[in-house]
Amino acid sequence: MILSLPKLLRTAAWLALIIAFPGAAVQGTENISPLGRAPDWPALERFQGTMTQSEFTSALQNVYCTRGVGEVIQVEENLARFLIDREEQKWFTLRFAPDEKSRKRVGRRWKRAAYLPRARKGRELAGLKIALDPGHIGGKWAQMEERWFQVGDSKPIQEGDLTLRVAKLIAPKLRKLGASVSLVRPKTAPVTKKRPADLTETAKEILLRAGVAQPREDFAGPADPEKEQSIRWQDELLFYRNSEIRERARIVNTETKPDVVLCLHFNAESWEDPRNPTLVDRNHLHLLINGSYLPAELEFDDVRFEMLQRLLSRTHEEEFPLAEKAALALARRTQLPPYEYTTENVAKMGSTGYVFARNLIATRLYRCPVIYFEPYVMNSDEVFWRVQEGDYEGIRSVNGIDRPSIFREYADGVVEGLVDYYREAR
Ligand SMILES: [Zn+2]
C-alpha cells in the first residue's frame, strides 16, 4: 500500500511533498531532501556521449518528467545542462552522442536480459540475481506504520507480515528457476538501526518549514486529525518510510547488487478507524515503475541527480517491458481489474492499463530495475476473508467461492511474469 494523501496536502504544499513523496525536504543550506545524500555530480561523467538528444528528450517527456522539468534541466541540440547549484548558477554539462552509431557504451552493474545467454525451459532465470523487498516492517511495528487493522476479534491484518509471507513463497520458486535470491527484509523487524527518537531534529525542521513553529510532542492515535503536526508522528514517518527505505537501498546498492528488485505490497483503500475499519467492494491491481517526477520534486538537488542517474543508466528500457509482462501474468492469475489513479503524481505507461510511473523513494534509490507490485485491496471484503483463511494448498471455498491461497496466487503470478519476460528477452 502506498500512502493516500493526508489532509496537509491541501494546506501546506511543502509538507505535502514530504508526505506524498517521502524524499522531500531541505537540510542545512544545501537543497537536499530529508535524510538524503548530497549528489555526486562527477559520477555522471561516465555518461558523456552515451545517449542521443532524441533518446534523452524522449525519456524526459515520456517517462521521467511527464509534467515538465521547470528550469533545472536545459536541453540544447548537442548537449543538456543540469542545475547543480542555483545560488552559484553551477551547471553540469552532458554531451549527446551525435547519432545512435556513435554512442559510447557504458557499463552497468545489473544484467540486461538481452545480454544473458538463452536458457532451457525450467531454468529461465539462470544467472540472475533477484532481491525481494517485502514492503513495510510488520510485526510490532505494523500499528506505528499504519499498516494494521482489525475487524472485531478477527486476526489483525498487517501488510508487512503479508508481504514477507509472499516473499518467502516466491524465493524458493525463483531459486528453482536458476536465480539467486535475497530478501531485503528477512523478518518483521526494521532494517535501519535508527529509531524515531533519533530523527527528531529532522522532524522539527520539517514542521518548522511547514509553518508549525511550536509543534505538539505527541498525538492521540491514528484518528487524531492533527497528528501530522506532532513531532512523534513525523519522527515515526521518517523512521519507517525514509530511514528504513534508505537503509534497504544501501543494502541493495552496496551489498547484494541484484539485477532486479521486486517490491511486494498489498494495496488498500482508506479504512478510517483501524479498530473499526471500513470494508469496501473494490479490489484491483497495479504495478509501479520509476518516473513521473513532479517539477517541485526536481527542485531537490539529490532527487534531480538520482532521477538523471536512473535515466542515463537506461533502467527504464528493462524495467518497463518487465513490468508489462509481470502485470499481465498477475492479472491473469488474480483476475483483478486495473486501478485507476485519481491523483496527478503518476503517469500511465504502455497499454496494459496496469503499469504506472511514479517517483517513490524505493523505485528511485535502488540502482537497478525495480518493479513495485500493488495487487489486492486488503480492506476489501474479498481479500479480508482470503487473508483470514491463511495459506493453504489447493483450493478452498472462501466466503462461498473456490479459491487458491491468496499468498500462493500472488507468488505464482509474480514468478510467471518473470518467466514470461526472461524466456522471451534473453
Ligand atoms: Zn504497501
- Residue 61 half-sphere exposure, CB side, CA atoms within 13 Å? 8
How many angstroms is it from 135 CA to the middle of ligand 1?
Answer: 5
pLDDT digits (tens, 9 = 90+) for 135-187: 999 999 999 999 999 999 999 999 999 999 999 999 999 999 999 999 999 99
**Could you say which DSSP state residue 122 is in?**
T
Confidence of residue 14 (pLDDT cuts 50, 70, 90): very low
How many angstroms is it from 373 CA to the middle of ligand 1?
Answer: 9
Q: Which residues, in sequence order, are CB contacts of 117 under 8 Å at separation 6+?
A: 127, 426
224 or 179: which leads in pLDDT: 179
Letter for the amino acid at 105? R
Query: From CA 371, how far away is CA 171, in angstroms rounded?
Result: 16
Query: From CA 24, how far away is CA 22, in angstroms rounded?
Result: 6
Question: Of 28-37, 215-224, 320-329, which has the strongest mean pLDDT?
Answer: 320-329
Q: Is the pLDDT of residue 15 over 80?
A: no
Q: Length of the chain in residues, anyone?
A: 426
Confidence of residue 222 (pLDDT cuts 50, 70, 90): confident
Confidence of residue 226 (pLDDT cuts 50, 70, 90): very high
How many angstroms is it from 264 CA to the middle of ligand 1?
Answer: 7
Average pLDDT on 230-255 reads 97
How many angstroms is it from 196 CA to the middle of ligand 1?
Answer: 20
How many angstroms is it from 375 CA to the middle of ligand 1?
Answer: 10
The whole-number pLDDT of residue 70 equals 87
How many angstroms is it from 46 CA to the middle of ligand 1?
Answer: 35
Q: Is the pLDDT of residue 69 over 80?
A: yes
pLDDT digits (tens, 9 = 90+) for 260-292: 999 999 999 999 999 999 999 999 999 999 999
Q: Are 132 and 116 in contact (CB under 8 A)?
A: no
Confidence of residue 5 (pLDDT cuts 50, 70, 90): very low
Helix (H, G, I), strand (E, B) or coil at 97: strand
The whole-number pLDDT of residue 3 equals 56
The residue behind cell 548537442 is 78
How far from the centroid of its chain's Cα atoms is residue 290's Cα?
7
- Provide the mean pLDDT of the chain: 93
The whole-number pLDDT of residue 247 equals 98
How many angstroms is it from 324 CA to the middle of ligand 1?
Answer: 20
Domain 8-425 fold is Aminopeptidase (3.40.630)
Buried b (16+ CB within 10 A) or exposed e, 176-187: ebbbbbbbbbee
How many angstroms is it from 213 CA to the middle of ligand 1?
Answer: 31
Q: What is the largest CA-CA distance in the chain?
A: 67
How many angstroms is it from 271 CA to the middle of ligand 1?
Answer: 14
Give percent above pLDDT 90 in the chain.
88
Domain boundaries, the chain: 8-425
Q: Is the pLDDT of residue 119 over 80?
A: yes
How many angstroms is it from 285 CA to the middle of ligand 1?
Answer: 13
Average pLDDT on 27-50 reads 88
Average pLDDT on 372-380 reads 98
Average pLDDT on 410-425 reads 98
- Residue 66 half-sphere exposure, CB side, CA atoms within 13 Å? 16
How many angstroms is it from 415 CA to the middle of ligand 1?
Answer: 19
How many angstroms is it from 396 CA to the middle of ligand 1?
Answer: 27
Q: Are 124 and 178 in contact (CB under 8 A)?
A: yes
Query: From CA 323, how far away is CA 352, in angstroms rounded?
Result: 10
Q: Is the pLDDT of residue 40 over 50?
A: yes
The whole-number pLDDT of residue 236 equals 97
**Could you say which DSSP state residue 280 is in?**
B
Q: Is the pLDDT of residue 83 over 60?
A: yes
How many angstroms is it from 227 CA to the middle of ligand 1?
Answer: 20
Q: Are 125 and 113 in contact (CB under 8 A)?
A: no
Average pLDDT on 84-112 reads 95
The whole-number pLDDT of residue 413 equals 98
How many angstroms is it from 87 CA to the middle of ligand 1?
Answer: 38
Confidence of residue 223 (pLDDT cuts 50, 70, 90): confident
Confidence of residue 104 (pLDDT cuts 50, 70, 90): very high
Query: From CA 384, how far away is CA 318, in angstroms rounded?
Result: 34
Q: Is the pLDDT of residue 22 over 60?
A: no
Q: Which residues, in sequence order, are CB contacts of 35 under 8 Å at separation 6+?
A: 199, 202, 238, 242, 243, 246
